[in-house]
Amino acid sequence: MHTEVLGIDPVHPDPATIERAAALLRAGEVVVFPTETVYGLGAAALQTGAVKRIFSAKERPFNDPLIVHIAGEDALEQLASSISGQAKLLARAFWPGPLTLILPRSPLVPKLVTAGLETVAVRMPRHPVALALIRAAASPIAAPSANRFMHVSPTTAQHALADLDGRVPLILDGGPSEVGVESTVLDLCSGVPTILRPGGVSLEALRAVLPGVQPPRPGKAVATTVLQSPGQLLTHYAPAVPLLLFDGPEEMMRAAMLAEVRRRLERGEHAGVLVADEDMAAFRDSGALVRTLGDAAAPEQVAAALFAALRALEEEGVQVILSRSFDEHGLGLAIRDRLLKAAGGKVFVPGLQE
């Protein structure tokens, strides 16, 4: 299959281009489209055959449920069997935007979309192309991130093309995604509202609307003083090369990263480092390939740059990626989550040695 990439204005999408993509979706095909978080691989959510194509293009296992994207709150009634006051409150506050709500599933939603669960994930994206596409398709759109399963989510059309070339008929190129990490997934079906995946809407912002929202349950993060090669806990967001995550007081964290760069160089290995602007000077003559994610105190900058930087280092052919940590305020929680997952759940804390 030939994959066509069509440029589209992200603010004022050309209706004829939208219609071409929408016609494919109505006909049961898949289309890659931009959202404010990452690029999505969409199919008409109520057509089982179309949804199946998402799984085969991504090589995604059927036990991983999809998010259904809508363009208006009225579509919610079609997808969810009941809509709580909490859900309405959150939808009003954050939609359109990077928040996904887990709600009780209506029987209209194919089991394939929800991986057999009795709940459904719904979000209203705020990207004009995504909204125009959903409206023109006249159907909610099921869409995971437009990457191959286990790879880093795409924040540009080129990333999506690199993963899905020959597997999808059309990619709409609306330029780089604004947020850069995926939506926050919030479970509203098991008592206390709980974040399942931190993302583009922060815990602080959610709590300002619904004070009881719980943070994600701590994963299997293991603080370690011994550097081992990661691997056993790799889930999503896995870069193609091992990533080592460093934490601790800034000076010690930088010193530990520099020492590891030198160790690798002595073994003939080329390291890439992910740092912040304020670290650049320290790494200038380190011999590592250095990428800055922006100002460490500005998590929106770091989030927007993170996935592209991981892919860029992969493509440069480094043998290992060393990354600094970022603190957890605002989007920092999602950044830390993605870095931890890329690191197989391990974080190297030099300060622990004492």
Query: Where does this chain bind Mg ion (CB under 5 A)?
Result: 145
Nearer to ligand TXA (CB atom), residue 64 or residue 165: 64
Q: Are 252 and 349 in contact (CB under 8 A)?
A: no
From candidates 79, 143, 203, 245, binder to ligand TXA by CB under 6 A: 143
Shortest reach from residue 103's CB to ligand TXA, in Å:
8
Nearer to ligand TXA (CB atom), residue 148 or residue 270: 148
3-state helix, strand, coil in the chain (%, to 5): 35, 20, 45
User: Which residues are 290's β-sheet partners?
Assistant: 273
99 binds ligand TXA (CB under 6 A): no
Nearer to ligand TXA (CB atom), residue 162 or residue 282: 162
How far apart, in whole angstroms, are the C-alpha atoms of residue 134 and residue 237? 26
The option from ligand TXA, Mg ion, none interacting with 40 (CB < 5 to 8 A, set by class) reads ligand TXA
> Beta-carbon neighbour count of residue 28 at 10 Å?
15
Residues 213, 179, 96: CA angle, nearest 5 degrees: 65
Pairing mode of beta strands 289-292, 271-275: parallel
The option from Mg ion, ligand TXA, none interacting with 64 (CB < 5 to 8 A, set by class) reads ligand TXA
Chain-centre distance for alpha carbon 268: 33
User: Which residues are 101's β-sheet partners?
Assistant: 122, 186
How far apart, in whole angstroms, are the C-alpha atoms of residue 44 and residue 15? 19
Nearer to Mg ion (CB atom), residue 148 or residue 262: 148
Going by C-alpha positions, the residue among 193, 116, 142 that lies closest to residue 28 is: 142
Shortest reach from residue 345's CB to Mg ion, in Å:
18
100 binds ligand TXA (CB under 6 A): yes
Shortest reach from residue 65's CB to Mg ion, in Å:
11
Binders of ligand TXA in range 169-198 (CB under 6 A): 182-183, 185, 196-197
| Residues making contact with ligand TXA (CB under 6 A) | 35, 37-38, 40, 64-67, 98, 100, 102, 114, 117, 119-121, 125, 143-145, 182-183, 185, 196-197
